[in-house]
Amino acid sequence: MTSPKPHSGPAQPTLAPSPRRITLETLRQMRQRSEPITMLTCYDYSMARVLAGTGIHILLVGDSAAMTVLGENSTIHATMDFMLTITRAVRRGAPDTLVLADMPFASYATPDTAVANAARLLTLGQADAVKLECDGRHAPIIAALRAAGIPTCVHLGLLPQRAAQHGGYKAQGRSASDADKIVDDATALWRAGADLLLLEAVPDAVSSRVVAGTDCPVLGCGAGPSCHGHVVVLHDLLGFTDNPPRFVDKMADVPSVISQAVERYVTAVKTRQYPLPRHGYMMKG
């Protein structure tokens, strides 16, 4: 699909083209070569366009957008329509990057609803794969998605959609029994047909066992160095979050850059330095 031309305004930055389309097979080959996989969240066209020029492998259109973009207090407020809209926007901005879309809260309660909603994210949203927050009980759902030809990423460990049940956002798998359950669930869901696994906020000892017991790329979000790749929330990385998780380093203070630019604009308007004659249009004739 041809991406729409941006409206008139400041010139768009020139970004380096991706050398090739990233696919699930690309990730499998990277796993075989022990080449680290990079992944970040992304929620809009403009940012996707910037990130696509960095060589990032996966863009996760996360339901975390409910919090980072909409200001809600939980990821459960991301609706299917909202996820479809932002997933398609990210695809427009990053046509060669693997786009992974979150299945929103309660959109995969049964195999039938999971297949129907996941199919919408692939067809209307143009995602490459979908991500579901799962445990062993979801094996029939993953199998149904596999049978329907829908690539899946299974998310285990800390599950934000179930934070209310778990008493908040807490690390998982820290006791022997909890660790065993995560490993068992990961193995069962991989056998059911998961193409990728994502572990959030678990000890590296758990991740290393999942890596050893499965044969697909394992991605970590605060899950230690044993994972084949890693993901964090972009807003945490760029300094938009007051109290980011311990596993995220702030690599830029983007809010300050924006604030300074806007302050310069406000000052220019107040002091009548904007607009100047060069900003205007002349009458014809």
Which residue carries 């949203």 as its tokens?
Answer: 125
CA atoms within 13 A on the CB side of 22: 25
Could you say which of 35, 72, 133, 200 is catalytic?
200
Q: Is the pLDDT of residue 62 over 90?
A: yes
* Predicted pLDDT of residue 166: 79
Q: Where are the domains of the chain?
A: 24-279
> If you ran DSSP here, which 8-state letter would residue 226 be given?
T
pLDDT tens digits, one per residue of 3-28: 444 444 445 544 444 458 999 999 99
Provide the β-strand partners of residue 197. Answer: 154, 218
pTM of the model: 0.91
Q: Where are the beta strands (DSSP E) in 104-246?
A: 129-133, 152-157, 196-200, 218-221, 229-232
Q: What is the CATH number of domain 24-279?
A: 3.20.20.60
Which residue carries 């990385």 as its tokens?
Answer: 237
* Predicted pLDDT of residue 1: 42
CB contact at 8 A, 92 and 4: yes
Q: Is the pLDDT of residue 260 over 80?
A: yes
* Predicted pLDDT of residue 49: 98
Instruction: Please confirm, yes or no, whether 200 is among the known catalytic residues.
Output: yes
